[in-house]
Amino acid sequence: MSSQKISLEVQSLIDAQDNPFVLIDEHYNIVAANIAYKQAYGFSEQDIVEHKCYEVSHRSDVPCHMNGEDCPHKRVFESRKPHQVLHIHYDTHAQPEHVRIKGSPIFGPDGTMYLGEAVFPLAHTEDLDCEHQRMIGKSKAFQGCIEALTRAAETDAPVLVCGESGVGKDLAAEYIHRRSARSGRSFTMVDCSAISESVFESELFGHERGAFTGCIGRRYGLFEQADGGTLFFNEIGDLPQSLQGRLLNAMETGQFRRVGGRELLSADARIICATSHNLRKLVAASRFRADLYYRIAGIICEIPALHQRISDVPDLARALLQRMGAKDDPGYHLTDDAIELLCRYDYPGNVRELRNILQRAASLSTNGIITAQEIHIEESTEIRGGSPAIHLVDDDGNEPSIKGLESQYIAELLAEHQGKRSTVAQILGISERTLYRKLKQYGLQSIGKAS
């Protein structure tokens, strides 16, 4: 199919994307692409259309799933749902770069389905501009945290970032990278809770041609891609024990072999890890290697929970709302009574929960004005102040723990959304794998169902 058959509406959607964006049909043919995509891969308008997508971005003669990769084309056309992956693409000079791919189904006027694929380089400055746009706060607790992160950035020692779920540990890791001597190189993230154990080793160290059935091409791993830059392991406590030893060896020596390979390779990457678990307790329970813990915990940075810096909520809320608006839109305005209500809540879900509350409020607001009436806070959690406070106790009259609140919140979300795990995971901002572990931890498996 030629680009002339694409409607003006669809072409306008493609051209409006800031990042490289391409439209692909079910046969892997590129139907249309924006200027950023053509420039990224060195093709002209005439050359790029009707090329196979894997020929352009992967410099390959077969689809990426035939090389053992998670193929967004295959996944989106099978599920008809958005899918996001980490991939290695090759630029105009045939140099590999690690990118984040967001694939979504797009339908033409005649109902024909296409894959809309947006490309985000992992070292993109917009993703990493956390100092000025994403890490916000003036409280003593927050400023102490920033000072610790800044000191960590001045060294090349491994860093362990600790904190509750939703506090922004990934942003803290990005902050360290941006302030470090490696800021001009890549920041590569490994989500230990989202990558299955069966492919983790290949993702981390890469693989050689023929390493496993159906693998007909070489793949560069995340360690190689992070050479000279920073390699960030998010939720390191979820790393399977079977892989902890090999990861430790790679960290200690800087050397590794690709899966199926014999050549000993090396990479110089600064290691930052993050966890919401108490790793010392995991070590004591023999669920996490003690030697790996001491290797990654060269510097420990604690990120304060939002209830420990409530005075930052007004500035945080305004910044979050500003980013929800369009570029030419003045955004949303919080009234004094709305701010007062937001500051009386303890946020067991931290910044992630604040964002969800504001998103809901923004959808209910009139003319961009958000009052206390639009602020809907779950009744299962505590609001400080007022008369009386909304409060929960267990069967023995005791106050519940954060885990108790989380368990009840997840159970309520599952009930509200007919047990659909994918929907609940999206609301919570976590992977389905992490949600499954929480369901198992809280004994809620019978409520949730895969979807």
Q: What is the pLDDT of residue 40?
A: 84
Least confident of 33-42, 151-160, 380-389, 431-440: 380-389
Nearest to 143 by CA among 276, 308, 298, 275: 308
**Contact in structure between 23 and 32 (CB atoms under 8 Å):** yes
Radius of gyration over alpha carbons of the chain, in Å? 23
144 has pLDDT over 90:
no
d(CA 432, CA 194): 8
Per-residue pLDDT, 214: 57
The domain segmentation of the chain, as residue ranges, is: 3-121, 125-302, 307-374, 392-451
Q: In this structure, what are the phi and psi dihedrals at residue 302, rounded to the nearest 5 degrees?
A: -95, 130
184-221 CB burial, b ≥16 within 10 A, e <16: ebbbbbbbbbbbeeeebbbbbbbbbeebeeebebebbb
Contacts for 4 with CB less than 8 Å, ≥ 6 apart:
none
Cα 41 to Cα 56: distance, rounded to the nearest angstrom: 7
- Find the range with the poorest average confidence among 338-352, 373-387, 420-434: 373-387
Q: Is 450's pLDDT higher than 80?
A: no
pLDDT band of residue 409 (cuts 50, 70, 90) is confident
Question: pLDDT tens digits, residue range 4-58?
Answer: 456 666 677 787 778 889 899 999 999 888 888 888 887 766 677 778 888 888 8
Report pLDDT for 248. 92
Q: Is the pLDDT of residue 283 over 90?
A: yes
- Average of per-residue pLDDT values in the chain: 80
Cα 446 from Cα 421, distance rounded (Å)? 11
pLDDT at residue 210 greater than cutoff 60: no
Share of the chain above pLDDT 90, in %: 29
36 within 8 A of 184, measured Cβ to Cβ: no
Give the residues across from 188 on adjacent strands. Answer: 231
**Are the C-beta atoms of 342 and 317 separated by less than 8 Å?**
yes
- Token pair 């669809």 is found at 10
Chain-centroid distance of CA 401 in Å reads 27
Tell me phi and psi for residue 369, to 5 degrees: -95, 120
Edge to edge, the sheet with strand 21-24 lists 30-33, 21-24, 113-121, 96-107, 83-90
pTM, whole model, 2 decimals? Answer: 0.58
Q: Looking at the domain covering 307-374, what would its CATH class be?
A: mainly alpha
* DSSP letter (8 states) at residue 89: E
CA distance 56 to 48: 8
CA distance linking residue 18 with residue 98, whole number of Å? 18
Report the alpha-carbon distance of residue 350 to residue 374 in Å, rounded.
19
Domain with residues 3-121, CATH architecture: 2-Layer Sandwich (3.30)
Q: What percent of the chain has pLDDT over 70?
A: 80
**In the 8-state DSSP scheme, what is residue 132?**
H
Residue 292 pLDDT: 96
What pLDDT, on a 0 to 100 scale, did the predictor assign at position 136?
Answer: 82
Considering only CA atoms, which of 369, 438, 385, 362 is closest in space to residue 407? 438
Predicted confidence (pLDDT) at residue 310 exceeds the cutoff of 90: yes
| Arch. (CATH architecture) of 125-302 | 3-Layer(aba) Sandwich (3.40)
- Count CB neighbours of 252 within 10 A: 11
Count other C-beta atoms under 10 Å from residue 146's C-beta. Answer: 15
Question: What phi and psi values does residue 126 have, to the nearest 5 degrees?
Answer: -65, -35
Distance of CA 74 to the CA centre of its chain: 21
The distance in angstroms from the start CA to the end CA of the chain is: 33
